[in-house]
Structure 1
Amino acid sequence: MLWTFVFGLWGLSRQHSVWRDEAATWQVAQRSTAEMWRVLANVDVVHGLYYLLMHALFTCFGPGTTTLRLPSVLATAVAAACVAVIGRRLAGKWAGLAGGMTFGLLPAVQFHLQEGRSYALVAAGAAISTLLLVTVLQRQVRTRHWAAYGTTVLLTGLLHWLSLMILAAHLATLLWTRAERGVLARWAAAAGCATAGVLPLIAFSRGQSAQVAWIPPLTWHMLIGPGVLLAIGGAGALLERPRAGRSSVAAVGVPLLAVPQLGLIALSLIQPIFLDRYVLYSMLGLALLIGAAVGAAVRAARPRFPAASRWILPVALAVAVTALLPQSLAKRSPASRVDDVLAVASDIRHLKRPGDAVLFVPADRRDTKSVTPDAFAGLRDIALAESPEKSGTLKGVETEPDVIRGALLGEQRVLLVTDASPAAPLATTPRDRAKTAVLHRYFTPVTDKRTRGRRVVVYERRSAPRAAGEGGAVRSGTAGGGAEE
């Protein structure tokens, strides 16, 4: 736990950068409770419990990158501790220690270790519920134990309902170990109660499925990653030599790794939702199986090389940390994310002048203003009809294209905040097309600043309009914009 916690504190601020998904957490967490409920009625209800938690933390400690990300660091450390305890109980102290220390090193876990979103907390909930299940397999437990299990699964499901796939993994473990009927009946009751508690969230969030419409359909090359993970986990299970009918790391780790991955693939055949962060908790199973493999190596070496066997884990960790150092450094840099919402704030402060107007293309890029409102003080958001707070949205409600066009024609100097990627598609909504058309024809770009995935272009009005077809249009992306379920 300490190892993972210290590892998570390293480079926590990512050079004071916050990307668009974290910006959604940042801005919603700062709103009043009433404003938050209004947002959740429109978007991101799947993250509602997480937003309420972050709202409480922001209220107590103030907004900042440390407050935003420290919960994920603590949650990952708790998950690592659970992996260590599970591994120790099932395969010995070396397997537990290796599994627990492996968890925070896994590249997918390193990414979300310092992420201001709910996925690390979901992994912690999955780890705690799995530890409770392992306790059931090893000793007689009371009703309060099953109540703790059901409550943990419920809270984890409310953090993100796709975590309920862990129930299928736990059922596979119970069947693998040939659990008694009484245990199966109590598990079914706890699992049923937890699922029933999450069903209203599932039903309501289905009405917001347009938020994940940008996720591409499942393709064969997207299955390479899960295939590699399952192969590594399978190798670790074979080294442990699992047997049906008894508790083992394989009986817990293989379902924990495989079932969420395969379940997400199956769901993606119905609706494209294949993002590895939705099943980050499956990495618990991978860490357990890797730990079991290290434990098996220690046991195999101990009879002939008792002194050297103690160095297997430290050497393996040193090699892993060294090999993953480039990845670790990359995950802690602003370049590891699509963009940096805070990056253009300093550009706005230096470029703005009294009386200037500001535009956002697409409207999702207004998250920069929501997170750093002081940087936009004095600028008139001429396309905005209703603020994000009043409209219960993340990007606000903009006026009609004709109104935007008329407002733009009355301006002399406009700052445009957009995407920096040259591969971003042309603005596609009528409002964004109206913005870019007027800027192209009646204004001249005089300054163009690109920083960490965001772009600020300063336009000044020219005397004669440009002929149609002359010059190039402003490019801006909508793919992946806004918060995601």
Structure 2
Amino acid sequence: MSVSPALDTAGASPRARPAPPAPPAPRPAGRTGRAAAGLAPAGLALALGLWGIRRESSMWRDESTTYQVAHRGLADIWHLIGQADAVHGLYYLFMHGVFALWDGGLVALRLPSVLAMAAAAAGVGLLGQRLAGPRAGLAAGLVFPLFPAVQRYAQEGRSYALVCAVVVWATHLLLSAVARPRKRTWTGYAAVASLACLLHEFAVLAVAAHGLALYRARAGARSGWAWGRTVSGVAVVLIPLVIVSQQQAALVGWISPPGPPELLGFGALALTGLVCAWGPLPARGPVPLRDLALALLILPPAALLAVSYLHPLYVDRYVLHAYVGLALLIGARLDGLSRTVAAPRALAGGLAVAAVAALLPYSLQLRTPQSRLDDPLAAARVVRELGQPGDGVLFLPARRREPIMSRPEDFRGLRELALARHAIPSGTLHGIELPAPLIRARMLTAGRIVTVNDPPGQPLDDTPQERMKREVLAEHFHRCAVRDVTGMRIVLYGRAGKC
């Protein structure tokens, strides 16, 4: 008897057809994919960081502090951080070593930040590859160095780029410790997380975000307890720095409570991240990308904003690592869109061109002196042009001494009229000034005085020394010349007939 062709050999019902083959399971990323996810972002970050690194030979006040503190002796730096700026103490010691190896001026000042941000970009790309695949990792890594804030702090001689890089690689160690729990992996995570916190104590908020991500991911009691023990070790390392920095809290008295600009800025970033997190996202790693990225994006700035209503501390650069979370979410979402939208390559190319075009004006502006609050080097050059040997020099207020500390050669031949003790022997950032009556007596011995001032419109310091400076200038001197530079005003005063 013949078998009907409508029946299969297993006795299936008539007209049944074989099921279509299942799509092949995604293969793990090869070495090429992993290399691209790390090297391409690092190359982009390095190129952006080196582009205009000298910023037209300008340097703003915080960088000026780094430059002159890092050029002090080790004992002098230790003396300083016991009284001021302990939160940046490890960074100052690191930069002291950089300048000891190569005193390359502005390039040496900023190159460590450039290299650190390149390492952070590579780490973001590899995080994305690890949690969502090679294309998502590559997209995340390329997005990260394009953020305006990342471009800005990649070119600043401060600790924020280094903190960001260390946080990124601590996150890698966390994922490794959760995936393959071993004592040495958790110890490595503890060491790198501690380093991040010692570079800037608010990096502890990123460590807290790691804990929130583990909780959201239900990583298990074993991982939770291991993370808790690790954080206890980090806290032991951090507590001495916290105690010392709390005694120096007056140094951040310039920070105001959060206002609409800060809230809107945080809200815009958080909303962007939440939109990118909406809907399905890949979940390949030991912790889902969504949980980790949202924790890094939202918890550190939100916690610092909340605390700042009681004790103002919020400055966006203190939580720069939040952009790591945003880059991961954007990268994963771009990868998802490229898989569902027709002509993904054309769309991706168009989006890339549009993003670069939109950011180009801001990127150009970031590489000018006007992009920062002030320019002590420009102020020093104006003092050199206006002053003559024997003239007096005053700083109104005293904290405006950055120009003379970074470019003392431009003040050669001028007499400091208010200084009692220099910054280095006094273990301070700007030195210690004389009592008001002695400042008056010194000022009256000068025929001409060059003053370095805040720009117009800034509140006047109400100390006896600052009041005395203003009173003597108003009563006994005339304005001879006024020059404005970025963030400062230089005024030459003279007695009658001395201009």
* Same fold per superposition (TM over 0.5): yes
| Partner in structure 2 of residue 128 of structure 1 | 169
Kindly indicate whether residue 130 of structure 2 is the aligned counterpart of residue 96 of structure 1. no
Aligned residues: 457
One-letter code of the match for 1:140? R
- CA deviation digits over 1:23-59, x for unaligned, max 9? 1101100000111111111110000000000011111
Kindly indicate whether residue 448 of structure 2 is the aligned counterpart of residue 408 of structure 1. no
One-letter code of the match for 2:86? V
Considering only CA atoms, is the larger Rg found in Structure 1 or Structure 2?
2
CA separation of 1:11/1:69 partners in 2, compared to 1, >3 Å: closer, same or farther? Answer: same
Match of 1:271, SS state, is coil
One-letter code of the match for 2:60? W
One-letter code of the match for 1:161? E
TM-fit CA distance, 1:388: 0.7
Aligned partner (choices 23, 29, 34) of residue 70 of structure 2: 29
| Partner in structure 1 of residue 31 of structure 2 | none
Task: Provide the C-alpha distance between the structure 2 equivalents of 1:143 and 1:317, rounded to a whole number of angstroms.
Answer: 43
CA separation of 1:191/1:427 partners in 2, compared to 1, >3 Å: closer, same or farther? Answer: closer
Which runs of 5 or more residues in structure 2 are unaligned?
Answer: 1-41
TM-fit CA distance, 1:427: 4.1
Aligned partner (choices 382, 396, 414) of residue 431 of structure 2: 396
Kindly indicate whether residue 466 of structure 2 is the aligned counterpart of residue 426 of structure 1. no
Which runs of 5 or more residues in structure 1 are unaligned?
Answer: 465-485
TM-fit CA distance, 1:425: 2.2
Aligned partner (choices 436, 439, 442) of residue 470 of structure 2: 436
CA separation of 1:245/1:328 partners in 2, compared to 1, >3 Å: closer, same or farther? Answer: closer
> Which has the higher mean CA deviation after the structures are superposed, 81-90 or 149-158?
81-90
Q: Which runs of 4+ in 1 moved over 4 A?
A: 241-246
| Partner in structure 2 of residue 480 of structure 1 | none
* RMSD of aligned Cα (Å): 1.8
CA contact (8 A) 2:136 2:335 kept: yes
CA separation of 1:270/1:242 partners in 2, compared to 1, >3 Å: closer, same or farther? Answer: farther
- CA deviation digits over 1:427-476, x for unaligned, max 9? 42211111111111111111111112222211111279xxxxxxxxxxxx
Task: Provide the C-alpha distance between the structure 2 equivalents of 1:198 and 1:339, rounded to a whole number of angstroms.
Answer: 32
Match of 1:217, SS state, is coil
Match of 1:358, SS state, is strand
| Partner in structure 1 of residue 159 of structure 2 | 118
Kindly indicate whether residue 51 of structure 2 is the aligned counterpart of residue 10 of structure 1. yes
| Partner in structure 2 of residue 68 of structure 1 | 109
TM-fit CA distance, 1:243: 7.7
| Partner in structure 2 of residue 313 of structure 1 | 348
One-letter code of the match for 2:406? V
CA contact (8 A) 2:45 2:145 kept: yes
Structure of higher RCO (CA pairs closer than 8 Å, 6+ residues apart): 1
Match of 2:278, SS state, is helix
Task: Provide the C-alpha distance between the structure 2 equivalents of 1:241 and 1:208, rounded to a whole number of angstroms.
Answer: 45
> Which has the higher mean CA deviation after the structures are superposed, 170-179 or 272-281?
170-179
Task: Provide the C-alpha distance between the structure 1 equivalents of 2:227 and 2:474, rounded to a whole number of angstroms.
Answer: 63
Task: Provide the C-alpha distance between the structure 2 equivalents of 1:326 and 1:452, rounded to a whole number of angstroms.
Answer: 20
Task: Provide the C-alpha distance between the structure 2 equivalents of 1:456 and 1:433, rounded to a whole number of angstroms.
Answer: 18
Task: Provide the C-alpha distance between the structure 1 equivalents of 2:323 and 2:126, rounded to a whole number of angstroms.
Answer: 16
Task: Provide the C-alpha distance between the structure 1 equivalents of 2:127 and 2:44, rounded to a whole number of angstroms.
Answer: 17
Q: TM-score, normalised by structure 1?
A: 0.91
| Partner in structure 2 of residue 87 of structure 1 | 128
Kindly indicate whether residue 480 of structure 2 is the aligned counterpart of residue 446 of structure 1. yes
| Partner in structure 2 of residue 476 of structure 1 | none
One-letter code of the match for 1:392? G
Task: Provide the C-alpha distance between the structure 2 equivalents of 1:262 and 1:67, rounded to a whole number of angstroms.
Answer: 34
Aligned partner (choices 39, 45, 51) of residue 86 of structure 2: 45
- CA deviation digits over 1:62-87, x for unaligned, max 9? 15111111111111111111111111
Aligned partner (choices 240, 262, 267) of residue 227 of structure 1: 267
| Partner in structure 1 of residue 383 of structure 2 | 348
TM-fit CA distance, 1:175: 1.6
| Partner in structure 1 of residue 24 of structure 2 | none
Aligned partner (choices 417, 424, 440) of residue 382 of structure 1: 417
Aligned partner (choices 216, 230, 234) of residue 176 of structure 1: 216
CA contact (8 A) 1:250 1:289 kept: yes
Task: Provide the C-alpha distance between the structure 2 equivalents of 1:55 and 1:63, rounded to a whole number of angstroms.
Answer: 12
Aligned partner (choices 319, 331, 339) of residue 366 of structure 2: 331
